[in-house]
Structure 1
Amino acid sequence: MRSPLCPANAMTDPIRLSKRLIELVGCSRREAELYIEGGWVTVDGTVVEEPQFKVLDEKVELLPDADLSKADPVTLLLNLPVAANPDTALQLISPASLSSEHREGTRPLKGHFARLDSALPLQSGAGGLLVFTQDWRTLRKLTDDAGKLEQEYVVEVSGEIAPHGLNRMNQGQLYKGQSLAPVKASWQSENRLRLAVKNPAPGLIANLCASVGLTIISMKRLRIGGVSLRKMDPGHWRYLAAGEKF
């Protein structure tokens, strides 16, 4: 186990954290940057991830299980509250909003919240599962296979459904001159529909409901392909787990 690392001599001028780490452990500049950016270095007990951070006589430590491996790109899954604006959804993601059900074994780093791209936007007015990723392979999968990935929505509705309404939604139909794609529609409860659809066009679900006499009260996406929200409160997020696949 490594011991706390402290400067051998008192410093008179602040220096970069990376330079201090090089002096303390004898690593290269690149190794120092990887240690720091990987969240393995603390200054007075607080993790600092910026190699350019200036230190003077603070206590600098390299954590015992420090790993030089470059961090893999991450994918974050957010449960967007129904009333929230998807355009500002990234503002909801921070270490503090990581789901308590999914904290074990995780090390949220500042680098995890940078350079995030999103794909497969929600239906207008919907909340639920949003995907943000740093991984180009995941982004490519969501983009190239959008037509193959089933999205599951739960929709709370009011009104009296038209005769054979579910069959009409399942088969697809014309509504106000627009051809509506078929979906897999079923009742989840007395006023709640479950809809599964691949790559829904903007407004599709609202138009489908309106075409059979139903008014949408709220709408939430629960799943994209094989990835679901799991146990996660609105406004919270989790990491895509190893082995999870869209």
Structure 2
Amino acid sequence: MTDPIRLARRVAEIQRCTRAEAEQLIRNGWVSVNGHVVETPQLRVADERVAIDPNARIEAVEPATLLLHKPAGVDPIDGPKPALALISPDSHWSDDQAEIRPLQRHFQHLQPLATLENEASGLMVFSQDGRIVRRLTEDCDQIEHEYVVDVEGSIAPYGLHRLAHGLRFEGRPLPACKVSWQSEARLRFAIKAARPGQLRDMCAQVGLEVKSIRRLRIGRIALGKGPAGAMPAGQWRYLPVGERF
């Protein structure tokens, strides 16, 4: 029996590359052991069959950012129904255009960002990328978010103007935002720095009761549409490499 060695060393021997390049190949999912993809360079192998995908490319190991369509009633972080539990290989949107191969490491160490209220649905972000984390935390209040809000009731006189200019929330005046009717019972908000409960409170101030809230966009990144329509609730897609909020 052959003495066990680290998988990265075996791949370096097969591929005639450096140990660092071998680790990149393994972490990017190009290496299989006995027919199963392995992403752990330190795994020790002896007589196992090690194969490298013929399409393998030596490239940097990029952190992943996943975009989830959170359903209403799902907890954004903590709670009995956390949104993170929805993210798995099985719930990957079939119309995802990012052309990123799902890997096991993409589901590890994901940080929830741009959270939504439990009752709201729509775009929510989970990322391993420190640049994305900083962007959606430190610069969050400067990024415009787009929502559609289904409402009931009769809007007060000049209510649409008041929604866009001049309301207060939790004792503070609100900055201007963009508000328009999408239908007789649906409003569109393009707004920055919205706080939990703010959209419901704004609508209540002009005589409207909110029935549902859905976030469509964060900055330049939208929920996503494919040939069959918008990405369904409970499914996720990758943020393509190079795209930014």
TM-score tier after normalising by the smaller chain length: 0.7 to 0.9
Residue-pair matches, total? 236
Supply the RMSD in Å over aligned alpha carbons: 2.5
1:35 equivalent in structure 2:
25
1:77 maps to which of 60, 64, 67: 67
1:149 equivalent in structure 2:
143
Does the CA contact (< 8 Å) of 2:169 and 2:198 recur in 1?
no
Alpha-carbon deviations, 1:106-154, whole Å to 9, x = none?
A: 2111222223223332245211111122222222222333232110011
Correspondences of 1:117-136 after superposition (within 5 Å): 117-123=111-117, 125-136=119-130
> 232-241 or 62-71, which moves further after superposition?
62-71
> 25-34 or 46-55, which moves further after superposition?
25-34
- The yes-or-no answer on 1:65 pairing with 2:59 is no
1:112 equivalent in structure 2:
106
For the residues of structure 1 that align with 2:220 and 2:101, how far apart are their CA atoms?
Answer: 24
**CA positional deviation for 1:201:** 2.1
C-alpha distance 174-42 of structure 1, shift in aligned 2 (>3 A): closer
For the residues of structure 1 that align with 2:48 and 2:87, how far apart are their CA atoms?
Answer: 30
Alpha-carbon deviations, 1:152-187, whole Å to 9, x = none?
A: 011111222222211111112246855444432111
2:39 equivalent in structure 1:
49
2:194 equivalent in structure 1:
200
> 175-184 or 205-214, which moves further after superposition?
175-184
2:20 aligns to what SS in structure 1? helix
1:102 equivalent in structure 2:
96
C-alpha distance 162-115 of structure 1, shift in aligned 2 (>3 A): same
2:240 equivalent in structure 1:
241
2:185 equivalent in structure 1:
191
For the residues of structure 1 that align with 2:241 and 2:16, how far apart are their CA atoms?
Answer: 34
For the residues of structure 2 that align with 1:136 and 1:176, how far apart are their CA atoms?
Answer: 32
Report the identity percentage. 49
C-alpha distance 73-176 of structure 1, shift in aligned 2 (>3 A): closer
2:8 equivalent in structure 1:
18
2:228 equivalent in structure 1:
none
TM-score normalised by the chain length of structure 2:
0.84
Structure 1 unpaired stretches of 5+:
1-10
Bigger Cα Rg: 1
